[in-house]
Amino acid sequence: MAVKAFGIVSSADNSIHVEGLHDYRPIGAFSFLGRFRVIDFPISNMSNSDINRIQVYVRSRPRSIAEHVGSGRHYNINSKRGKIQLLFSENSSTRSIYNNDISAYMDNIDIIQRMHQEYVIIAPSYMVYKQDYRQLLETHVASGADVTLLYHKVDNAREYFKNCHTVSVNKQKGVQSIDKNLGTANSKNIFMDTYCMHRDVFVELVKAASWMSSMYTLADIVNLKCKDMDVRAFQHRGYFATLTSLEDYFNASMELLNYDIASDLLRSEWPIYTRTTDACPTQYFESAKVNNSFVSNGCLIEGSIENSIIGRSVTIKKGAVIKNSIIMAYSTIEEGVHIENAIVDKWAHIIHAKNIRGEADAPQYIKRQDTL
């Protein structure tokens, strides 16, 4: 049964830049936990919540997202009643101050206005969490609020969740303001950049923002309207990760090496869909030694792996040691190479550099397709 909301998967704000990885693709296309891409999470949440019409906004370098999302068949979107649209902002220069979410919505405002669904759920393509949007929608409709925001209570906001917004909430779950997380306190309500509102309210807010300032974002205008509008907050529970810096990406991945946390994020009743590559199972050889790691299919493993996440079709040769690292798809780590606290991007070939080490709080990034 389709719900009366359509979905928008939003793109990261131009103030967000993730070292290295981001040079090649938008955050939504980042590999996550070996076999997924980040955007699989918001789209699967929507699909599992019976949202059949989904708009994915892509700010720049659309190839990887377009290829991965495709027709959306693998996300279990109804092939006749449903649709995934990839929408692009006309203003596509990545770093431009004019290239924000509001300008992308303005460029596509006629498409938004034509949607048959009354409500909209907006979720970011750069955060990972699990949420039944039907609950959010029901709460929103029952409360009579104008806008409902999703937030997550954290106790480490000084160190992490930089680049994120926080919400100040009163006892009645009314939102007082949306602010930048300045790292002033550990205990904060992190805004999950997820909104639920009526389509007409959304269109109104987008137009108001664009009229007031070319630099305004949706968060800016909602913050400004908090005083006159009924903006409420809805608390999310469970695993929540923001992938807005290389450290955050690394930590979010490492946290999932705790199998209980990972299996709670991927329960069979709430599947996270992804595009299959039809890789065969992974082959472990006589000399392989693997502990506390997630390994994707299609790998050939002769070396040692500890506390790491291995992408699809990776080759780890004899005597190679991978520790506390993320090795992305199609990379080859040759004999005797030692890698620790590193993120190795796709198609990399590590052969001559025998020792690659980063720090636990500052992982070393190895470029896509690089030979070291």
Which residues are near other proteins by CB under 8 A? 33-35, 73-74, 259, 262-263, 266, 268, 271-274, 276, 278-286, 288-298, 300, 305, 309-310, 313
Please say whether the beta carbons of 253 and 35 come within 8 A: no
Using the minimum distance from each CB to other proteins, give the nearer residue, 74 or 83: 74
Q: Other C-beta atoms within 10 Å of 224: how many?
A: 18
Q: Other C-beta atoms within 10 Å of 68: how many?
A: 17
Closest CB 63 distance from other proteins, rounded Å: 19
Using the minimum distance from each CB to other proteins, give the nearer residue, 59 or 346: 346
Closest CB 265 distance from other proteins, rounded Å: 9
283: exposed, middle or buried (Cβ count in 10 Å: 0-12, 13-18, 19+): exposed
Closest CB 279 distance from other proteins, rounded Å: 8
**Cα–Cα distance for residue pair 1/136, rounded to 1 Å:** 17
Using the minimum distance from each CB to other proteins, give the nearer residue, 144 or 281: 281
Closest CB 285 distance from other proteins, rounded Å: 6
**Cα–Cα distance for residue pair 348/371, rounded to 1 Å:** 6
Closest CB 351 distance from other proteins, rounded Å: 20
Using the minimum distance from each CB to other proteins, give the nearer residue, 156 or 369: 369
Closest CB 256 distance from other proteins, rounded Å: 9
Residue carrying the six token digits 């891409």: 37
Closest CB 346 distance from other proteins, rounded Å: 15
Residue carrying the six token digits 């909104």: 195
**Cα–Cα distance for residue pair 119/116, rounded to 1 Å:** 9
Using the minimum distance from each CB to other proteins, give the nearer residue, 115 or 279: 279
Using the minimum distance from each CB to other proteins, give the nearer residue, 292 or 371: 292
Sheet containing 364-366: order of strands: 309-310, 326-327, 342-344, 364-366
**Cα–Cα distance for residue pair 232/142, rounded to 1 Å:** 12
Using the minimum distance from each CB to other proteins, give the nearer residue, 155 or 286: 286
Using the minimum distance from each CB to other proteins, give the nearer residue, 11 or 131: 131
Closest CB 263 distance from other proteins, rounded Å: 7
Residue 198's alpha-carbon distances to 53, 82, 135, 149, in angstroms, are 15, 20, 15, 13
Residue 242, SS3 per DSSP = strand
Q: What does the radius of gyration of the chain's CA atoms come to, in whole angstroms?
A: 21
